[in-house]
Chain A
Amino acid sequence: MVLASPIQRAITEPPIVRRLLIGLTLLFLTLFLFLPLAVVFYEALRKGLGVYFAAIVDPDALAAIRLTLLCTVIAVPLNLVFGIAAAWAIAKFEFHGKSVLITLIDLPFAVSPIIAGLIYVLLFGAQGWLGPWLAAHDIKIIFAVPGIVLATVFVTFPFIARELIPLMQEQGIEEEEAALVLGASGWQTFWRITLPNIKWGLLYGVILCTARAMGEFGAVSVVSGHIRGATNTLPLQVEILYNEYQFAAAFAVASLLTLLALVILAVKTLIEWQARQTRRAALAVRGETE
C-alpha cells in the first residue's frame, strides 16, 4: 500500500505496527483455530480418500446429514424473525427493564447444553410434566425429531438478536425518523432503511446461527436417544464413529461441517459483488461519477 497524503498516514498505523498486528493475528489463529482444523483434515485423510468418501456416503451418515439440515432450516428462520423483532424493540426504543430483557436473551448462551437438554426432558419426558399427556396422544417429542429441533432452536436462540442489537444501537434512529417524516409507512421504512443498514450484521448472525445449529452436540445428545439412522445428527454420528475406533471416518464426517466455511465465503463474495453492481447502476442513472 502506498500512502498518498499525510491525512491517510494519520488514519492508519506505521507499517511495523501493522505487520506486528497481522503477525499476532495469524499466530493466535494458528494456535487456536487453524491447527485444530488441520488436525481434523489430517486425521480424516490419513486412511486415504476411499475411507473418507465411504464414511460420508454411508446410509447412516446420509440420514444424519438430512436430519441436521432439517433442524437447521427450521431453527434459523425462527430465530431470524425473533432476532429482528427483539433488536427492533431493544435498539430503537427506550423502556424499563431493557437490561433484564437483554440478559434473558443472552441466557441460552450461558445455559449449559446439558441443562438445555435436561429441561426439555423435564417438560416432555415420560416422567415429565407433559409426558403422560403426550403418551396418551401418541405424540413423540423427546427421542424424536421435534425434540432435536427444539434443542437446536434453544441453543441458537440468541445468535441473530445479539448480533443485531449493538449494530442497531450504534446506528441510532435518525434515518428511520427521516423516512417516516417523509411519509414512508412503517414497513417501508423497515424494508428500505433499516434492513439495508443491518444486512451485514444480519448475515453474520445467520451464518453463526447456521453454523451453531449444525454443530450442536451436547443438548441434542441429551434428547436424541442416539438411534442410528433415525435420530442421530451429524455431530452425534461423529461421536459414534469415534467410539467405534473409526477415527478417520469420524473426522471425515466432522470435516463436512468445516466445508461450511467455503459456502460462507461464496455467499459473502456474491452479495458484496451484487451490492457493488447495484451501487454502480444507481450512480450511473443519476449521472454522477464516484
Chain B
Amino acid sequence: MIKHLFRRLSISVLTFGLLIAPTLQAADLILLNASYDPTRELYQDVNRAFIAYWKTKNSGDNLTIRQSHGGSGKQGRAVIDGLEADVVTLALAYDIDAISAKAGLLPKDWQQRLPNNSSPYTSTIVFLVRKGNPKGIKDWDDLVKPGIAVITPNPKTSGGARWNYLAAWGYALRRNGNDADKAKEFVIKLFKNVSILDSGARASTTTFVERGIGDVLLAWENEAFLAVKELGPDRFEIVAPAESILAEPPVALIDQVVDKRGTRMVAEAYLNYLYSDEGQALIGKHFYRPSNPDIATRFAQQFPAIKLFTINEVFGGWQQAQQIHFADGGIFDQIY
C-alpha cells in the first residue's frame, strides 16, 4: 500500500515540478534596485514612471525594474556577497562605502559622481506622538525627562536609527557648546527612556502604532508622514524639533554589475531620472525633501521648518561617526 502511495506521490511530484518550473518572461532589460526599507512606496512610483519614460525614449525596449528592500546594512552586505544590483539606493553613505571598500564594485569616489553628494533626496528626523501630544513633547530636551517612553530602532541594525542617534547627539553637542561629555550624558539619558529596540524602522513604527507602546517615536520625516497618512491622521501627530540632522540617503551605480550585465546606460538614466523634475516631484509627493531647490519650494509648505545640521559638519563624515559611536565598544555600546 505504502509502495503504491509512494509511486503515486512521486508521479504527482514530477508533474508538479514541471508545472511550477520558473516561468521567466522575455524582457529585454531587467534592472535591480537594492534599496532600504522606507523607500518602498517611493520607488514603486518612480519605477512605474521611469519605465514609461524609457519606453517613449527608446521605443521597443521592454524594461522591468526589480526591487529588493531590507535594512540598509543588510542590503549593502547582500551586494558585497554577490547580489547583482545595478543600482543601490541606501540609507547611509557608509553602506555604499563598504561596497566599494570590501568588494571593489564601484570606485571610492562614487559620492562625487552625482549632484548633492549623490543624494537626490534628503530627509530628517522628527518625532511622532499620539494625538493631542498628551505628554507635551516639543523638543529634544523633553525626550530625556523621566517617565517619557521613547521608541527607536536599534542603531546597530537600522540605518534610520543611526540617524536618530546622531540627530540627538548633534543637538546636545550644539546646545552645550560642543561639549562631547554633555552630549554623551544626554544620549545615555535618552536611551534610558527606550524600552524596546526593534531591528528596523518599520518594526518600531508598528510597535508604536499597533501595540500602542511609547509616548514618542523617533522616525524618518517621510516615515512619520506616511505613518500618519496610512495608519491614522486622527491618532497621531508630528512634532518637529527646533534642530535636527540632515539625513542624506545616497544612490549609486554598481559599475562592475552594470558592465557585466550591459545595463550601464539604462541604470545611469534611472539615477539621473531621480534628479529630473518628474523624479523630484515624485520624491516630494512621498514626503522626501527634493534636492532641486525649485521643486523643493513647491513642497516647502508640507515640511516643518527645522534647522538642519549635516553629518560632515558635526561628525566629520560617516566613517568617523561609525567608528566613534557605533563600532563595537563605541559610545553606543557604553550606554548599556
Contacts of B69 in A (CB 8 A): 226, 240, 243
Q: Interface readout for A120-153 with B: 1 if CB under 8 Å, 0 if not?
A: 0100111110010001000010110100000000
A166 at the interface (CB under 8 A from B): no
Cβ–Cβ contact A73 & B1, under 8 A:
no
Evaluate whether A227 and B1 lie within 8 angstroms (CB atoms) in the complex, with A143-B82, A244-B40 already known. Answer: no
Evaluate whether A199 and B2 lie within 8 angstroms (CB atoms) in the complex, with A73-B17, A226-B70 already known. Answer: yes
Cβ–Cβ contact A191 & B20, under 8 A:
no
Query: Smallest Cβ distance from A248 to chain B, in angstroms?
Result: 13
Cβ–Cβ contact B81 & A142, under 8 A:
yes
Q: Interface readout for B28-39 with A: 1 if CB under 8 Å, 0 if not?
A: 000010100100
Measured CA separation A32–B82 after assembly (Å): 40
Cβ–Cβ contact B81 & A278, under 8 A:
no
B66, B102, B227: the one within 8 Å of A228 (CB): B66
Measured CA separation A259–B55 after assembly (Å): 42
Cβ–Cβ contact B20 & A70, under 8 A:
yes
Cβ–Cβ contact A191 & B81, under 8 A:
no
B62 at the interface (CB under 8 A from A): no
Q: Interface readout for A194-232 with B: 1 if CB under 8 Å, 0 if not?
A: 011001000000000000000000000000011111100
Cβ–Cβ contact A245 & B231, under 8 A:
yes
B68 at the interface (CB under 8 A from A): yes
Measured CA separation A61–B59 after assembly (Å): 30
A73, A143, A199, A247: the one within 8 Å of B16 (CB): A73
Residues of A in contact (CB 8 Å), total 37
Cβ–Cβ contact A225 & B5, under 8 A:
no
Contacts of B312 in A (CB 8 A): none
* Interface majority SS (helix, strand, loop, mixed), chain A: helix
Measured CA separation A73–B3 after assembly (Å): 19
Cβ–Cβ contact B17 & A244, under 8 A:
no
Measured CA separation A131–B105 after assembly (Å): 14
B41 at the interface (CB under 8 A from A): yes
A274 at the interface (CB under 8 A from B): yes
Cβ–Cβ contact B83 & A225, under 8 A:
yes
Cβ–Cβ contact A195 & B81, under 8 A:
no
B173 at the interface (CB under 8 A from A): no
Beyond known contacts A73-B16, A127-B103, A243-B69: 4 more, CB 8 A cutoff: A70-B22, A228-B66, A243-B40, A274-B1
Give B contacts to A, CB under 8 Å.
1-3, 5, 10, 13, 16-17, 20-23, 32, 34, 37, 40-41, 66-70, 78, 80-84, 102-103, 200, 202, 206, 210, 226-227, 230-231
Give A contacts to B, CB under 8 Å.
66, 69-70, 73, 77, 121, 124-128, 131, 135, 140, 142-143, 145, 191, 195-196, 199, 225-230, 240, 242-245, 247, 271, 274-275, 278
